[in-house]
Amino acid sequence: MPDTDPCAGLSLTLHRRIAEIPATQWDLCAGGDNPFVSHAFLSALEDSGSVDARTGWLPQHAALRAADGSVVAVAPMYAKSHSFGEYVFDQQWARAFEQAGGQYYPKLQVAVPFSPVPGPRLLLRADRRDDPRLARTLVGALRQACGELGLSSTHVTFCERGEYDLMGDEGWLRRLGVQYHWDNPGYASFDDFLDALASRKRKTLRRERRDANGCGLTFEVVRGPDITEDLWDHFYRFYLSTVDRKWGSAYLRRPFFSLLSQRLGERVVLMVARQDGTPVAGALNLMGRDTLYGRNWGCDRGDWPFLHFELCYYRAMEFAISHGLRRVEAGAQGEHKLQRGYRPCLTHSAHWIEHPGLRHAVAEFVEHERTAILGEMEALDAMTPYRTQS
């Protein structure tokens, strides 16, 4: 009988620039739901110099190709010489392996650089998206690439639950994390959301908003092409000031923000606070099909009450309500988000470890970590401000 396996004859190619894969072919795989895996976003990182060998993020984008050269699946992948900018921390694994005489770096990272945003990582062409055999073929190709390149490991971070389950079935180690997301069940207004809260919590949020809006600032939402270069200059200053205060690294270069406006258009949503007409704070968001994703924020001074909550959380929630979005994801960390109506949500990652000894140690670590995280979820959810249902 003739071979009818739709995955027969596929080959994996690796690419040091996303420009080597036509945007139309990439986006047929990425889809339009999540802007962070779009060709536009990833190419803006590369073309601005924010992602390259110098920064320790060397693109190795994976493409599965049919016999005729057409792309049927892709994965945003990088060879990493460090573990910064990932938000799923594996430095402890690296130190242990290197103390035992191993070489942890370089490693392969399937991720969106500097963006702890959950979303698809195994990107299958639209007409093949429901084919688990193709997804398994891509997973196997990523594992094979790790071995053939002589690297220690491949890490697929902030992936979707279905991908997490698939890779677990294929022998990858699985890891959980926690973020805090706000769900919109169909509120007609911000007051509708407040009505869902316990009385004392509702009063707290109203006071925070009153104080933030009563300190002489004006607020506006600016989108895509309407974000001027002057406004981006201000925002980049805010971004650098936040990096300085947190002792971090300024991963993103100034041209990246201009390229966002040019390539993602109305999906770029900038919340701006002004004093006497001059921008003094800003919060950058990207809009997906049904989700608003918080990205970066910063301000000139730290003495405006509750300004961070107003720009990054409450204004984002209002935007989501007015635009019929289902969710706001405000980035990594921050149990303080619970008191503002954000609920704990699990995040998922999968890890292929080549070395048997390191693999065994990491397997024990993630199992203990997973048990602790699952045990913590109920306690975290009890900290949200919503009224108890009788």
Per-residue pLDDT at 245: 59
174 phi-psi bin (left φ>0, alpha ψ -120 to 50, beta other): beta
| pLDDT, tens digit (0-9, with 9 covering 90-100), for 234-281 | 999 999 988 755 556 789 999 999 999 999 999 999 999 999 999 999
Tell me which residue of 104, 105, 48, 35 sits closest to 76, measured CA to CA: 35
Per-residue pLDDT at 232: 98
The amino acid sitting at 6 is P
Per-residue pLDDT at 28: 97
Answer CATH for 185-325 from 3.30.450.20, 3.40.630.30, 3.30.1490.20, 3.60.21.10: 3.40.630.30
11-179+345-381 and 185-325: identical CATH topology: yes
Per-residue pLDDT band for 373 (boundaries 50, 70, 90) equals very high
Per-residue pLDDT at 6: 65
Structural contact between residues 284 and 227, judged by C-beta atoms closer than 8 angstroms: no
How far apart CA 65 and CA 190 sit, in angstroms, is: 47
Per-residue CA distances from 106 to 13, 58, 66, 155, 217 (Å): 19, 10, 29, 12, 47
Per-residue pLDDT band for 390 (boundaries 50, 70, 90) equals very low
What does pTM read for this prediction?
Answer: 0.94
The Cβ-side half-sphere exposure at 365, using a 13 Å CA radius, reads 15
Q: What strand order describes the sheet that includes 123-124? A: 11-15, 61-65, 71-75, 123-124
| pLDDT, tens digit (0-9, with 9 covering 90-100), for 162-207 | 999 999 999 999 999 999 999 999 999 999 999 999 999 999 999 9
Long-range contacts: 163-169, Cβ < 8 Å, 24+?
163/120, 163/121, 163/122, 163/135, 163/348, 163/350, 164/348, 164/349, 164/350, 166/122, 166/132, 166/135, 166/136, 166/139, 167/139, 167/350, 167/352, 168/350
| CATH level 3 topology of 11-179+345-381 | Aminopeptidase (3.40.630)
| pLDDT, tens digit (0-9, with 9 covering 90-100), for 136-148 | 999 999 999 999 9
- Whether residue 45 is predicted with pLDDT greater than 80 in this model: the reply is yes
Per-residue pLDDT at 249: 73
Per-residue pLDDT at 9: 85
| pLDDT, tens digit (0-9, with 9 covering 90-100), for 214-227 | 999 999 999 999 99
| pLDDT, tens digit (0-9, with 9 covering 90-100), for 53-64 | 889 999 999 999
Per-residue pLDDT at 331: 78
The single residue listed with the structure tokens 């924010």 is 50
332 or 310: which leads in pLDDT? 310
Per-residue pLDDT band for 363 (boundaries 50, 70, 90) equals very high
Residues in the chain: 390
Per-residue pLDDT at 182: 97
Per-residue pLDDT band for 333 (boundaries 50, 70, 90) equals confident
| pLDDT, tens digit (0-9, with 9 covering 90-100), for 104-135 | 999 999 999 999 999 999 999 999 998 999 99
Per-residue pLDDT at 337: 92
The domain segmentation of the chain, as residue ranges, is 11-179+345-381, 185-325
Torsion, Cα 305 311 312 316, to 10 degrees, reads 140
Percentage of the chain with pLDDT > 90? 89
Per-residue pLDDT at 66: 95
Tell me which residue of 123, 145, 103, 110 sits closest to 21, measured CA to CA: 123
| pLDDT, tens digit (0-9, with 9 covering 90-100), for 307-331 | 999 999 999 999 999 999 999 998 7
